[in-house]
Amino acid sequence: MEILVYEHITSGVLCESPLPASLMKEGDLMLQAILKDLLEVREIKITILRDFRLPIPSYIHYYHTIYTLSQFHQTWQYCLDKVDGVLPIAPESGNTLTKIQEQIIKSGKILLGCHPQATQIASSKIETEKYLRTAGLNTPYTIRLSDWQLDRVSKEESLICKPDDGAGCLYTFYFKTPLNLHLWKQKNTLDTKNYIVQPYIQGQAISLSLLYDGKKARLLSVNQQQMKIKKNRIYLNAILVNAIMAENPIYHHLQEIANTIANTLPGLWGFIGVDLIIVQNQSPIILEINPRPTTSYVGLRIIYGISPMQWLITLLYEGLDKVVLPSNLGFQLLISLKKKDSKIIYDGYS
């Protein structure tokens, strides 16, 4: 089986534009880990597309270096015709991931990822909040910036504002008071219909690494997100993979939340990420669903001691019930995402 591992940011589709630094670093971390893991799966051949400005990874069978946008489109179509399946990693913004998944399905090849309909819903924080709230899950109050009014909120409430379909923490703004947001809204020429406003929630920011089969979920790891506020912007500085393990009572509650999400949003398939906030005296608050592998995937091999890609292939051919997870080894991994230090900087027992 030949698989095209398509990481959008590093693929060369942006070869005629500057590479977005944070997304490129996270994307490359995921790509390198997935390639290494796939190499250990028998009878799998790996193909990638690669931006000419980036070094060629070690763990591949075939690669295509991309120099121009026209060459990218030709090579993308050539690879779609040639391979058996595609594992896509791309931002949700602008329906980028949805459109890629639709192309893969239209080509008749195996999509190693979510169904486009599920991705389209998960790509919108407004739509995600509606679906999850209907299922009885805890979500933050979410409103479009275009509909938000200063006189309708508490004067003491801190707020965040971000794109409805944003990827990561890009363009995520923090406002200490509603008045600060009101003044910022008046000064900016943003597409206010594509930005949302939510309350700023203090608590422990976590992410779930999950494996979905379209109907059920398997919790793989619970990870701590280390956030930073600087000049009214929110940044993800680091991720501590495997921060909360099965011995913690909340772990099983998080598995239940993942199962409810699966029932609420059919079509989630493969490696998925869910971002939440743990607060005292209430159920964890779900911020968003990432319908694709996330950066925390990088730590799964160290947690379990085997290639996680074996689970994906088992999922494809035999189903989620046949995926057997080894014992969690208790390792934790700190992935630094600072601009000058995007790398794994700690690997040891908790």
Do 121 and 128 contact (CB within 8 A), yes or no? yes
The Cα 250–Cα 350 span in angstroms is 18
Q: What is the pLDDT of residue 168?
A: 61
Residue that has been written with the tokens 């998925």 in this structure:
272
Beta-strand pair 45-51/62-66: parallel
Contacting residues for 99 by C-beta, under 8 A, at least 6 apart:
none
What tens digit of pLDDT does each residue of 327-346 get?
999 999 999 987 555 444 44
Place 191 in a pLDDT band, splitting at 50, 70 and 90.
Answer: confident
pTM, 2 dp: 0.92
Across the range 230-248, mean pLDDT stands at 93
Q: What is the pLDDT of residue 167?
A: 65
Residue-by-residue DSSP string for 233-278: EEEEEEEEEEEE-TTSHHHHHHHHHHHHHHHHSTT-EEEEEEEEEE
Q: What is the pLDDT of residue 346?
A: 43
Q: Where do runs of H (alpha helix) occur along 146-237? A: 178-187
Across the range 241-262, mean pLDDT stands at 96
Q: What is the chain's percent helix, strand, coil content, to nearest 5?
A: 35, 30, 35
Give the three-state DSSP class for 186.
helix
Q: What is the pLDDT of residue 337?
A: 85
Q: What is the pLDDT of residue 154?
A: 77
Total residues belonging to the chain:
350
Place 123 in a pLDDT band, splitting at 50, 70 and 90.
Answer: very high
Q: What is the pLDDT of residue 340?
A: 54
Do 57 and 35 contact (CB within 8 A), yes or no? yes
Q: What is the pLDDT of residue 209?
A: 98
Residue 62 has pLDDT above 80, yes or no: yes
Beta-strand pair 204-213/195-199: unpaired
Report percent pLDDT > 70 for the chain: 95
What tens digit of pLDDT does each residue of 17-50 get?
999 888 899 999 999 999 999 999 988 999 999 9
Residue that has been written with the tokens 């494996």 in this structure:
211
Do 116 and 101 contact (CB within 8 A), yes or no? yes
Q: What is the pLDDT of residue 188?
A: 82
The Cα 106–Cα 55 span in angstroms is 31
E strands, 153-216, in order:
159-163, 173-175, 195-199, 204-213
Strand partners, 269: 213
Give the three-state DSSP class for 89.
strand
CA atoms lying within 13 Å on the CB side of residue 314? 13
Of the two residues 166 and 327, the one the predictor is more confident about is 327
The sheet that has 2-7: what strands, in order across it? 62-66, 45-51, 2-7, 85-89, 110-111
The Cα 290–Cα 113 span in angstroms is 11
Q: What is the pLDDT of residue 173?
A: 94
Residue 200 has pLDDT above 90, yes or no: yes
Q: What is the pLDDT of residue 347?
A: 44
Q: What is the pLDDT of residue 342?
A: 44
Do 331 and 242 contact (CB within 8 A), yes or no? yes
The structure tokens listed for 143 are 């409103």
Across the range 300-321, mean pLDDT stands at 97
What tens digit of pLDDT does each residue of 63-100 get?
999 999 999 999 999 999 999 999 999 999 999 999 99
Sign of the dihedral through C-alpha 151, 234, 187, 288: negative
Give the three-state DSSP class for 293.
coil
Kind plus residue range of the DSSP H or E element containing 63: strand 62-66
Question: Mean pLDDT across the chain, nearest whole number?
Answer: 93
Place 1 in a pLDDT band, splitting at 50, 70 and 90.
Answer: very high
Q: What is the pLDDT of residue 101?
A: 98
Across the range 263-288, mean pLDDT stands at 96
Across the range 321-326, mean pLDDT stands at 96
Q: What is the pLDDT of residue 201?
A: 95
Q: What is the pLDDT of residue 70?
A: 98
